[in-house]
Structure 1
Amino acid sequence: IFQPPEEDRREGRAGIPDDSWISFSSQEIALAAKSEASMNVTVAIPPGQEWAGRDWEIWLGVAAESSEMLVVKFYVRLLVSTRAAAEAKPNPGLVVGIAAAAVFLGYGAYYYLRRKTKSG
């Protein structure tokens, strides 16, 4: 994991706040010549409104394990974005349902008590 300097990041992207948010299915893979392999990269952003609506960039480095003089390291640019915070909106159906239930229960209690006083 490599935090690129600001001048190398894409416009509007910040460095990821915590490298521990990123994990790999395996720390290393072995490849033969002219072959391919895959691994999973997991980004686990902790819950919280402070992380909503953010854009980050981190680079993942890949290098051959070699004893030769020249070792080439490749970087994969990982762009991570979170959705904007959801605004709390009133739920009209819930409000109407609660009001209707209150009226219904109030009428039921009134009817029950009235009937009980007439018979008693």
Structure 2
Amino acid sequence: MIAEVSEKYNLSQDTLRYYERIGLIPRVNRNKNGVRDYTEEDCNWVDFIKCMRATGLPVEMLLGYVRLFQQGDETLKARKAILIEQRDQLAVKVDEMMRVLNRLNDKIARYDETIGKREKALKG
């Protein structure tokens, strides 16, 4: 059910409906009462989309990927190319974030050194 999927993937129900409406996830089957009944495959798509969005991949590019997927195995190389490009972009971001993290750690260490010296001076 949509509430369970929403909670499991930390996405709003509106976002899930939007993804379905624009074609990012396949049309979700409904039970006899008309309530969405997500399958494991539907959930795999939600998980994949959430992962790709977290890398910064725009919705439009994801839609292109889904369209390629729907065309079948003849698009395997094109889909792989999209994933490789996104991985490479993410690796650049990770490297930059590591550089920033190291700089912050160095700055914090200098604060710790300064505070330690001042404390010794006060005790001294």
What range is the shorter-chain TM-score in? 0.3 to 0.5
For normalisation by structure 1, the TM-score amounts to 0.32
Task: Pick the structure with more strand per residue.
Answer: 1
Bigger Cα Rg: 1
For normalisation by structure 2, the TM-score amounts to 0.32
